[in-house]
Structure 1
Amino acid sequence: MPSNFFEGGLHGENSHADPLEVFEGLQWNTAGVKPANCPYSVWQVLNHMIFWQDFYLTYLKGSVPVHPEHDEDSWPVAIAPTNETEWSDAIVQFSKGLQEAENEAKKDLNEMKDAKLERTRGVILATLMTHNSYHTGQVALIRRIIGAWPPPSW
């Protein structure tokens, strides 16, 4: 697959929203609102996305990340950021991770990065991309439920 597939996919294409845009304009104190009957707040989803994005980037950079014992361990306990700086720092961290993934997409996608699991760089990038896309949809839905949709640029 050409790297532009991944570069475009990492920022949403066609029916997929850009994972950066979905957080745009959301205030830090609203990011921690957890609607009734909803398992997570936007803050929790963002931090879960950061966890797995960093996990897959570790593979792409040539190291083997430590997998959590249980997948629920990749979800933060805190429902909300404590202040605006914590919120904006998390957005910056997520954004930097996306940029790193874009840089990784420019390398040989057929290179084996996990021989034990038989995963190539392209497979790892596709996993990261689809994981972000899935949770981007969750963020959009949560924002709609709490009345904080759409982002300003939409």
Structure 2
Amino acid sequence: MENDQQQKLISELVFLIEKGNAHVSMEDAVAGLPANMRTVIPENLPYSIWQLIEHIRIAQKDILDFCVSEDHEKLAWPDDYWTEPVEHIDDQTWENALNEIKQERQRFFDLLQDEKTDLFSPIEWGDGQTILCEAMLIADHNAYHTAEIVVIRRMLGCWR
């Protein structure tokens, strides 16, 4: 693949992960969320917005750690990917989680943009995954759960 084509692909991946094409960004999905709604679990749903944010954070970090190190800590599905419900999340904990998502996302973008990164070859310690595949996994996974955040906000009556 020519360098300008690869750069175009990387730009599209970054945009898809960060902003999305057909959906709101994660930042937009949580903007203006009242603090008292972070941990509410709507009837007939298994998790709160807080649990979704933590799940996005944990899964995204796990994907990145897998991409960069054979020695990454393997997490057990589903227990290590989901937090237990809590009654309250303070502003500092909330902001720390959102900031970590942004920082890990930027680390992944740095990996994508590193000229030594091969987007198409299988990751040596994986079982066929490529960096391109993992980028699409992050985009798909985060978009899915971002949509759930919007739906929960609608159910709680705190969406636009």
Both structures adopt the same fold (TM-score exceeding 0.5): yes
Instruction: Quote how far apart the aligned CAs of 1:35 are.
Output: 0.9
Alignment equivalent of 1:135, drawn from 145, 157, 160: 145
Instruction: Quote how far apart the aligned CAs of 1:37 are.
Output: 0.9
Larger relative contact order (C-alpha < 8 A, sep ≥ 6)? 1
State, as a whole percentage, how many aligned pairs show the same letter.
22
TM-score w.r.t. the length of structure 1 is 0.86
C-alpha contact 2:41 2:47 (8 A) present in aligned 1 = yes
2:23 — aligned with what? 16
Instruction: Quote how far apart the aligned CAs of 1:100 are.
Output: 1.7
1:7 — aligned with what? 14
Instruction: Quote how far apart the aligned CAs of 1:140 are.
Output: 0.7
Aligned length, in residue pairs:
150
TM-score w.r.t. the length of structure 2 is 0.83
1:47 — aligned with what? 54
2:3 — aligned with what? none
Q: Return 5+ residue gaps in structure 1 as ranges.
A: none
Larger mean Cα displacement after TM superposition, 60-69 or 31-40: 60-69
Aligned to 2:133, the other structure's residue is in SS state: helix
Alignment pair present for 1:126 and 2:136: yes
Query: After superposition, what is the alpha-carbon deviation per residue over 1:22-67, rounded to whole angstroms, capped at 9, x for unaligned?
Result: 1112133211111111111000000001110000110222334333
What CA distance in whole angstroms lies between the structure 2 residues aligned with 1:145 and 1:18? 19
Query: Aligned-pair RMSD on alpha carbons?
Result: 1.9
C-alpha contact 1:62 1:113 (8 A) present in aligned 2 = no
Pair 1:117–1:73, CA change in 2 (3 A): same
More helix by proportion, 1 or 2?
2
C-alpha contact 2:10 2:113 (8 A) present in aligned 1 = yes
What CA distance in whole angstroms lies between the structure 1 residues aligned with 2:76 and 2:37? 31
Pair 1:80–1:8, CA change in 2 (3 A): farther
Amino acid at match of 1:103: D
Q: Return 5+ residue gaps in structure 2 as ranges.
A: 1-5
Q: Computing the radius of gyration over CA atoms, which structure comes out larger, 1 or 2?
A: 2
1:74 — aligned with what? 81
C-alpha contact 2:23 2:143 (8 A) present in aligned 1 = yes
Query: After superposition, what is the alpha-carbon deviation per residue over 1:62-110, rounded to whole angstroms, capped at 9, x for unaligned?
Result: 3343333332431100335431111111111112122222222213312
Pair 1:121–1:90, CA change in 2 (3 A): same
C-alpha contact 1:11 1:17 (8 A) present in aligned 2 = no
What CA distance in whole angstroms lies between the structure 1 residues aligned with 2:23 and 2:71? 29
What CA distance in whole angstroms lies between the structure 2 residues aligned with 1:60 and 1:23? 27
